[in-house]
Structure 1
Amino acid sequence: MQQEELSSPNQKYDFQFLNGEENTYSFQTRNEFVYEVLFRPTPYLFGESSLYADLVYELIIRVARNNSVKPSPPFDPLVAPTIAEIFTDFYLKTPLTIAIYICDSSDNRQHMRQAKFNRWFEYFDKDDFTKLDDVIRDSEGNRYPVSLIVKYNNPHRKAIFLAFLELIEGYNHEK
């Protein structure tokens, strides 16, 4: 496994906030991969009438376009600090945000994605954010890592964590 190099906190790619319904950010790497980081409103997660409904966003990190000849993005030490800067920017605009990150499982590489996301999280943790990890299980026993992230000083942090754990428990219990 390739070890991720730490870059200087000032080294990152320039990014654009494209706004839109999904609060989309975009940046291009030196390897010509265009990433999008989306904060998709997910008010239904805890229930539309929940106190938190308007604060919940699904965090999506995806390669939007491959302008290179390479089939997949190679390791790039500037991607993590760029995503961290985007994450911080969104939370500055909406400090009570509740972000949910569900690892894509379409190719059975969800656990590798979780490990990469956990390394990326170290860039924007800096004692300002806190994360709670859990797993959703489907009826065949497949496991899908999921994370909930809030600002550490969110006054509803404990209640949000409890609601998240109850949601996961309820979902897993149904299987």
Structure 2
Amino acid sequence: MIILEKSSFIPPYGDFLYDFSFFPIDAKEKRNKDQNGFDPKIHLTLLNFLEDLFSQDVRNTIVYICDSQDQREVYRKILFDKWYDEFSIERFEKLDFKLVNDGSDYLITTYISIVTLRENPHLDDLKDFTRSNMEEFENYKFE
């Protein structure tokens, strides 16, 4: 299942910024062995979905956060990077962030990728905006 939601960021970026996620419909326990392995059709489905989104408006941008609920976020990051490297060519700009938030009794690592077209007229502003927001998030400590 693919989910695309408008981001909660304020305009002008929020108008074209989408939170992007995908996951299997069936829980891992309910899938057979073949369904739990790498499925080459998944990345083609995602690529087609994103191609459609980016063809609608050159300003469209996605935010992809690797889910960490099952401590497999680094594997999701590796897979997303692999797909990006195989298919993005020179058309897209990807901004990657690794946020480590640690406290006395927790350690949370969050991998975030922001993807947009290189022809996005707000690309430089978007880079500045996202970097400043990532720095703010890094400085936040969960209590």
TM-score band by shorter chain is 0.7 to 0.9
Match of 2:124 among 132, 153, 158: 158
> Does residue 60 in structure 1 map to residue 26 in structure 2?
no
Pairs within 5 Å for 1:1-175 = 36-42=1-7, 44-45=8-9, 48=10, 50-65=11-26, 68-70=31-33, 73-139=36-102, 140-175=106-141
Structure 1: tracts of 5 or more residues without a match: 1-35
> Percent of pairs identical after alignment?
22
C-alpha deviation, 1:97, in angstroms: 0.9
Structure 2: tracts of 5 or more residues without a match: none
Q: Is the 8 A contact 1:111 1:145 kept in 2?
A: yes
SS of residue in 2 equivalent to 1:106 = coil
Paired with 2:133 and 2:113, the residues of 1 have a C-alpha distance of 12
- Which structure has more helix as a fraction of its residues? 2
**TM-score normalised by length of structure 2:** 0.85
Letter of the structure 1 residue corresponding to residue 98 of structure 2: V
RMSD in angstroms over aligned alpha carbons?
Answer: 1.9
Q: Is the 8 A contact 2:58 2:119 kept in 1?
A: no
Letter of the structure 1 residue corresponding to residue 20 of structure 2: L
Aligned length: 136
| C-alpha distance after superposition, 1:132-158 (max 9, x if no partner) | 100223343321100011101001101
| C-alpha distance after superposition, 1:52-103 (max 9, x if no partner) | 1111101101112368533852122222222112111111123211110000
Distance 1:90 1:124, change over 3 A: farther
SS of residue in 2 equivalent to 1:126 = coil
Distance 1:89 1:124, change over 3 A: farther
Higher relative contact order (CA 8 A, sep 6+): 2
Distance 1:68 1:170, change over 3 A: closer
